[in-house]
């Protein structure tokens, strides 16, 4: 019997390859009458790639069953506070790839990265120069910058949402006491500038006590995210920017961010300041060292996204 290689690791007989291909084509054809053209495209392309994966890996029935068990556990651990499927998408780079596809580089516009599960609507407003830590533990960090469009024109009144983990590696929503800390929103001033006190970001693991954590352990991958500070910036006629800044010199950048969120342009220098050194706004931090970072944001025009 003649054998053929089907773009895969193994070889199958020509007859077998024809049978497998015929099944793939039959399933693709089953979506032919889908009224919504986009849904049809998605289902047919999904089928094509899913079947290619099954055929290329020569997936065994036991492996298929493990996959089903894995997805079932992801469903069981998911509730209003825990979304294991988004976590799975994140660690597979699917979230980041979707962001990359949908946020084409627009001139000098600041790059986007993953949203993550810890954003909260209605975080408190702070004035420019205010402190968003609200008592969360960590080293104080002065963050400042200007928001402009791609022509360099400052944007007054841009809304900036900021959120971050404390130095124990937890967001406020991961505590059971209902606290609101290390998050806030503020608006750029009449010059498009903003400034606030936050915390110098530190590395922390994504939730890894569920099936995604088991998969990371089985594949020798770290659940740790590179230290980062989340931003979401919105302004009229501009594309909403969801991004982070990362800490230059953080070893986790080299080791690898567990959700593939790092982009070179988002790595910023956080300048460490010794205790007692004068602060930008004259705040007395006593014997606490602090740091400062500048992050200028360039928003893309609204029509440049999809």
**Residues at the contact surface with ligand BEZ, assessed by CB under 6 A:** 87, 90, 114, 116-118, 206, 225, 259
Is position 261 an interface residue for Fe ion (rule: CB under 5 A)?
Answer: no
The one of Fe ion, ligand BEZ, none whose footprint includes residue 186, by CB under 5 to 8 A per kind, is: none
The one of ligand BEZ, Fe ion, none whose footprint includes residue 262, by CB under 5 to 8 A per kind, is: none
The one of Fe ion, ligand BEZ, none whose footprint includes residue 87, by CB under 5 to 8 A per kind, is: ligand BEZ
Nearer to ligand BEZ, 47 or 243 (CB): 243
Provide the minimum distance between the beta carbon of 129 and ligand BEZ in the complex, in angstroms, as a whole number.
25
Task: Give the C-alpha separation, 286 to 306, whole Å.
Answer: 49
For 268, the token pair is: 């910023």
Provide the minimum distance between the beta carbon of 213 and ligand BEZ in the complex, in angstroms, as a whole number.
11
Nearer to ligand BEZ, 31 or 119 (CB): 119
The residue of the chain with the least Cβ separation from Fe ion equals 116
Provide the minimum distance between the beta carbon of 262 and Fe ion in the complex, in angstroms, as a whole number.
12
Nearer to ligand BEZ, 242 or 299 (CB): 242
CB 154 within 8 A of CB 192: yes
Nearer to ligand BEZ, 20 or 111 (CB): 111
CA angle 157, 153, 184 (to 5 degrees): 30
- Count of residues binding Fe ion (CB under 5 A)? 1
Site string for Fe ion, 102-141 (x = CB under 5 A): --------------x-------------------------
Q: Which pairs with CB-CB distance under 8 Å and at least 24 residues apart come from 207-215?
A: 207/82, 207/87, 210/73, 210/74, 210/77, 210/82, 210/84, 210/87, 211/70, 211/73, 211/74, 211/77, 211/84, 211/88, 212/74, 212/84, 212/87, 212/88, 212/91, 215/70, 215/88, 215/91
The one of Fe ion, ligand BEZ, none whose footprint includes residue 74, by CB under 5 to 8 A per kind, is: none
Is position 223 an interface residue for Fe ion (rule: CB under 5 A)?
Answer: no
Provide the minimum distance between the beta carbon of 292 and Fe ion in the complex, in angstroms, as a whole number.
21
Is position 201 an interface residue for Fe ion (rule: CB under 5 A)?
Answer: no
The one of ligand BEZ, Fe ion, none whose footprint includes residue 170, by CB under 5 to 8 A per kind, is: none
Interacting residue ranges for Fe ion, rule: CB under 5 A:
116
């Amino acid at each position: 019997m003649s054998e053929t290689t089907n773009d895969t690791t193994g070889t199958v007989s020509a007859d077998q390859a024809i049978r497998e291909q015929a099944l793939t084509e039959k399933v693709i054809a089953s979506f032919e009458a889908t009224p919504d053209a986009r849904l049809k495209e998605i289902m047919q392309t999904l089928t094509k790639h899913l079947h290619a994966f099954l055929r290329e890996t020569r997936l065994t029935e036991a492996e298929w069953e493990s996959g089903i068990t894995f997805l079932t556990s992801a469903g069981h651990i998911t509730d209003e506070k825990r979304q294991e499927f988004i976590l799975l998408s994140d660690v597979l780079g699917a979230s980041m790839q979707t962001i990359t596809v949908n946020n084409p580089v627009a001139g000098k516009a600041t790059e986007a990265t993953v949203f993550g599960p810890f954003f909260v609507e209605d975080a408190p407003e702070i004035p420019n120069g205010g402190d968003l830590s609200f008592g969360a533990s960590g080293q104080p960090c002065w963050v400042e910058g200007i928001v402009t469009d791609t022509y360099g024109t400052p944007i007054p009144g841009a809304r900036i949402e900021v959120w971050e983990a404390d130095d124990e590696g937890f967001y406020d929503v991961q505590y059971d006491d209902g606290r609101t800390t290390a998050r806030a929103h503020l608006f750029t001033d009449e010059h498009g500038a903003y400034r606030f006190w936050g915390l110098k970001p530190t590395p922390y693991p994504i939730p890894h006590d569920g099936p995604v954590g088991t998969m990371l352990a089985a594949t020798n991958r770290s659940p740790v995210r590179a230290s980062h500070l989340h931003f979401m910036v919105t302004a009229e006629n501009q594309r909403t920017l969801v991004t982070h800044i990362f800490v230059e010199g953080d070893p986790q950048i080299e080791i690898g961010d567990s959700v593939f969120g790092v982009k070179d342009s988002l790595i910023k220098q956080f300048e460490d300041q010794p205790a007692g050194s004068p602060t930008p706004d004259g705040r007395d931090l006593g014997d606490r060292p602090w740091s400062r970072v500048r992050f200028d944001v360039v928003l893309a025009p609204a029509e440049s996204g999809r």
